[in-house]
Structure 1
Amino acid sequence: MTFTAIRGSTALADETELEAHLASLLRLENIGLLLGAGASVAAGGLTMITLWTRFVTECPGDAAWMAEHGFIREDATQLPSPVTPNFEHLIDSLEIALSDWTRQMSMFGNNPIDYAPGERELEENLSDLKKVKAALFRAVVSAALLRQEWWLSPSGVESDDDGLASQRTILQKLVSARQPGQSSPWVFTTNYDLAIEWAAESIDLQVSNGFLGTHTRRFSPQSFDLGFRNTQARGEARFGVYNIYLAKLHGSLTWKQESGQVFEVSAPLAHQRIEAFMAERGGEDLGLMVMPRAAKYMDTIGYVLGELFRRFAEFMSKPQSCLILCGYGFGDEHINRLIRSALLNPTLQLVIYSSGFNGDPADENLPPALRKLLSLKNPRITVVGGGSAHAYIDSLARHLPDPLIYDEDMRKFEKALREPRELHYEAAAPRIGQ
């Protein structure tokens, strides 16, 4: 598929024009990324469509049970291309049913022998529901594991590992483009995987993810208001920043909820618990992450996610901000609402990388939320498409400009900008003295 991009209602001629536009956006006061499942495909992750197809293929009985009991439509079980359900709504429905059926079971006696036929059926359905929910959770975890060797390596991901090359390139370009006084870039992601953390660590970039501590890392949102700087830097050396802010909007594989608080554990420890869960030795829930459900705010961990979403909304409301979306399929309506509301900020710029966009804003195959944004024909919204399903993060890494070097050429450019003002002042001076 050939390159295609549109800004507002105007098609961009080629990639050069897009790169020039991105170069201007990177000079704005605030720059951020929103990464979805598609952004981790090149590193071994799965998109929601691929994840659901694998689940139906490997767990056909569980999928059929959900269709039989009305949790999904019948066409969501039909291979080779089952219709992907909304994961938030699906898991919401499963949890509501689990709560309701558990409540009903509590009204019966403790001896299953005394159950009436309807009560036995409810008990069987409750048991099946727990099994189906655990199978679905394991499928989601499996899609977020990326590469096994990254979890087992004591040094994490090496800097020459190609699996996270695009993530490293993007992070390096973003932090290098920051000017003195500008804040560090934000990375918002709906992914549970550690792609961003591993990519940043491989290039010695600090990650401020809301957790503070050395041996015990507890969620402390005030850490988002802190930054890193080189105390030896003076003048031009102050260009660039030393950290990124990372907000994992749906949780992480390395989060642990305990005693009413949320902690971050090391990757090796998290991997041990994940292995037990995947081998069906870890019960029906993982306890290390938050699934994408609309009712997630009911959990203790809702405080953490609420703070992260507040930071997300706050970022988009700041003057002179740019949010670049990559690999996000517009399947989370609470995020879509925040983005639409943020467009009330007249200086917010959106750049959306969508592999399904073919240049037609009214394409029925596009997510409804994306079609709505395209229908606005807002010149502050740029949509880039034309890439394969595995290429958009690679394209973003290629399109972002290399950092400028503040050298003699930049001084000449600044001088050229100042000269018209100096001439204006000289011409006005005699009149001022009269």
Structure 2
Amino acid sequence: MTDLTHPPIEYQLVGLTQSGDVGDLLTGLDQKHGRIRLQALISEWLRMENLVALTGSGTSVSAGGKTMANLETAVFATIEALSDIPASISPIIEARKLAVDLAVVDGPPIAFEAWLSFVANALFVAESTGGPFAAVTWPNTPPPSVADLRWFVDRLRMAIFAECALSLADTRAETSASVIAPQLAFLSKLVARDSNLGRTHLFTLNYDTLFEQALELLGIQYFDGFTGRAAARFDPSVYGLDIYYPGEVAEGRVRRFDKFLHFYKLHGSIHWYEQGNEMRARHPDLLPFQTYATLTTAQKAEALVELVGQMPSVGILPTANKFAQTLTMPYAHLFRSLQVRLGIPQTFLLVLGYGFGDDHVSRIIENALMNPSLVMLVIEPNPHSPVIERIRRYKDLGKRAFVLCPSKDAFAAAPFKHATFDDFARTVMPDVQWLDDFLRLRRFEKQIAASGTQPDKEEANG
């Protein structure tokens, strides 16, 4: 009979047990003692010298974002609804959709990012004069012209931009860290560690700017590989810099600024754009796109038409113009940085919202498990996901790979409630005091705005 006074914990922590077999490290524990053990382990791992977090599209779903599979479907639907779609482009889209549909029989197709790279590189090859592939023809009928391919690449970029132009929810009315935007909870807890430890390194595969918005709201300083303000230019040397208090502020000695991290966008961002042979960055106004996700396919196509000619070349195709070294340098450097960070001793790798669908990224992770002092924790909301079996196999590479997922009973009772990015960030990660202080300040700001008056000095200090 189930003990209702001490129900079992809703999570599994799959990893290598003391017996040497892969199993659940939380087996037999109730909610209270299970959470104590779980948070104690996470706290210990967060105190490792080198902290690396890798996030994927799953971290943006609660803010209106899409997983890569859903993003691909939405982008294709919008492009196919455009009235001026060239006849040569439709067969390319249909071939991709067919490959996805046949995945069960023929095995998984290449990832959407990899497919985008082929399209972008096809345009680069077609535009290159004097190249060895000038006489190559496409098997499709009719073959796409250079103009057709340019049309396709531009619309792909614009459609992805519009789908990923997400805005962070207003936090001023929230009273608890358990209900605020998960990006705020996650980042505040991620950087709240001993300043004598190594800096946090956050890598993301997302195109959206939710993390940047959260970093700015929290007052967390970060370096993202770009220098400058008006039209920032990619300069990887900034990752070698840090932020310190001057001596006169820190009681006569230089001290590291606490709230700081390094931020890497492995697949680019909606605020990146190409200018000449350089990658630059400038955050766009996201207000016009707040209702985009609620539009019908036809309405999205109409909105996309209005964007034509109004937007710069958005840098969100991972290997766009692959053969132009200056443009590939951001991506090459960022992936190399991930590989280097994971090879450093005493590394904790936290993986969230990523389904191991990008072979390039997954190979880097698998190679990193050769690092004898690396610990990896994967957050997976589906206890039936193939990701779990993949982590089980990793024990042959390294004995420090774990996956946090719901118990099967908890998942059956409430699917995708536990071990999501939102749940992990808000309730599983250990709490930090300054997040509560931040929420208190935001509520106070809202009260001031609502009253339209300046606060009393005594009230402000309280």
Q: Which deviates more, 180-189 or 133-142?
A: 133-142
1:205 aligns with 2:256: no
Alignment partner of 1:160 is 2:172: yes
Could you tell me which runs of 5 or more consecutive residues in structure 2 were left unpaired when the two chains were aligned.
Answer: 1-8, 17-21, 27-33, 133-137, 293-299, 435-462
More deviation, 24-33/129-138: 129-138
Give how far 1:51 is off.
1.8
> Which of 90, 101, 112 is 2:115 aligned to?
90
Deviations 1:151-171 (A, max 9, x none): xxxxxx755377962111111
Distance change (3 Å), C-alpha of 1:42 and 1:226: same
SS of 2:186's equivalent in the other structure is: helix
2:297 corresponds to which residue?
Answer: none
Cα distance change on mapping 1:180 and 1:146 into 2, 3 Å? closer
Pairing 1:402–2:418 present = no
> How big is each residue's C-alpha offset from its partner over 1:164-199, in whole Å with a ceiling of 9 and x where there is no partner?
62111111112222x242222111001111111100
Displacement, 1:126?
6.2
Equivalent residue number for residue 408 of structure 1: none
3-state SS in 1 of match to 2:326: coil
- CA change 1:318–1:393 in 2 (3 A) is same
Question: Would the alpha carbon gap of residues 99 and 261 (structure 1) be closer, same or farther in structure 2, given more than 3 Å must change?
Answer: closer
Structure 1 residue 293: Cα displacement: 4.8
Match of 1:76 in 2: 101
The residue number in structure 2 matching 1:338 is 364
Change (3 A) 1:325 1:298: farther
CA distance in 2, matches of 1:215, 1:93: 32
The answer to whether the Cα contact below 8 Å between 2:56 and 2:352 also exists between their aligned partners in 1 is yes
309, 314, 317: which one aligns with 2:343: 317
Letter in 1 for 2:431: D
Alignment CA distance shift 1:265-1:98 (3 Å):
closer
Give the aligned partner of residue 194 of structure 1: 209
The structural deviation recorded for 1:124 is: 5.9
1:300 to 318, 326, 338: 326
Q: Check conservation: 2:274, 2:314, Cα contact below 8 A.
A: yes
Aligned-pair identity (%): 25
Residues 222-260 of structure 1 show CA distances to partners (whole Å, capped at 9, x for unaligned) of 21122223343469x969822111000111111122232
Aligned-residue offset at 1:203: 1.2
* Aligned equivalent of 2:19: none
Contact 2:121 2:320 in 1 (8 A): no
- CA 1:53/1:228 → structure 2, altered by over 3 Å: closer, same or farther? same
Shift of 1:17: 2.4
Match of 2:53 in 1: 33
Q: Which residues of 2 match residues 350-365 of structure 1 at below 5 A?
A: 350-358=376-384
When the two structures are aligned, how many residues end up with a matched partner? Answer: 371
**What CA distance in whole angstroms lies between the structure 1 residues aligned with 2:256 and 2:129?**
62
Question: How far does residue 132 in structure 1 lie from its aligned partner after superposition?
Answer: 4.6
CA distance in 1, matches of 2:79, 2:278: 34
Task: Please name the residue that 1:241 is paired with.
Answer: 258
Q: What's the TM-score once normalised by structure 2's chain length?
A: 0.68
CA RMSD of aligned residues (A): 4.1
Aligned-pair CA distance for 1:40:
0.8
1:176 to 170, 192, 197: 192
Q: Distance in 2 between matches of 1:270 and 1:217?
A: 22
**How far apart, CA to CA, are the structure 2 residues paired with 1:161 and 1:36?**
28
1-side partners of 2:326 and 2:311: how far apart? Answer: 15
Instruction: Give the match for residue 348 of structure 1.
Output: 374
Judging by fraction of residues, say which structure has more helix.
1
Once the two structures are TM-superposed, the CA of residue 43 in structure 1 deviates from its matched residue by 1.5
The answer on 1:49 being equivalent to 2:69 is yes
Q: Name whichever of 217-226 and 200-209 sits farther off.
A: 217-226
Please tell me whether the aligned partners of residues 199 and 262 of structure 2 are also in contact (alpha carbons under 8 angstroms).
Answer: yes
- Cα offset for 1:399? 1.4
Cα distance change of structure 1 residues 169 and 136 upon mapping to structure 2, 3 Å threshold: same
> Residue type of the partner of 2:222?
V
Structure 1 position 145, deviation (Å): 1.0
Q: Which amino acid in structure 1 is aligned with residue 111 of structure 2?
A: N
- Residues 284 and 134 (structure 1 numbering): CA distance in 2 closer, same or farther, change over 3 Å? farther
**Residues 1:215 and 1:103: Cα distance change in structure 2 (over 3 Å):** closer
Correspondence for 2:421: 393
Separation in 2, partners of 1:49, 1:240: 39
What is the CA distance between 1:56 and its match in structure 2? Answer: 5.3
1:5-154 equivalent positions in 2, closer than 5 A: 5-8=13-16, 9-13=22-26, 14-55=34-75, 57-58=77-78, 65-66=91-92, 70-73=95-98, 76=101, 86-95=111-120, 97-98=122-123, 122=142, 129-147=149-167
- What's the CA shift for 1:305? 1.4
Residues 5 and 385 of structure 1 are in contact (CA less than 8 Å); yes or no, is this contact kept in structure 2?
Answer: yes
Structure 1 residues 217 and 67: CA distance shift in structure 2, 3 A: closer
Question: Deviation of residue 320 (structure 1)?
Answer: 0.7
Flag the structure with larger Rg.
1
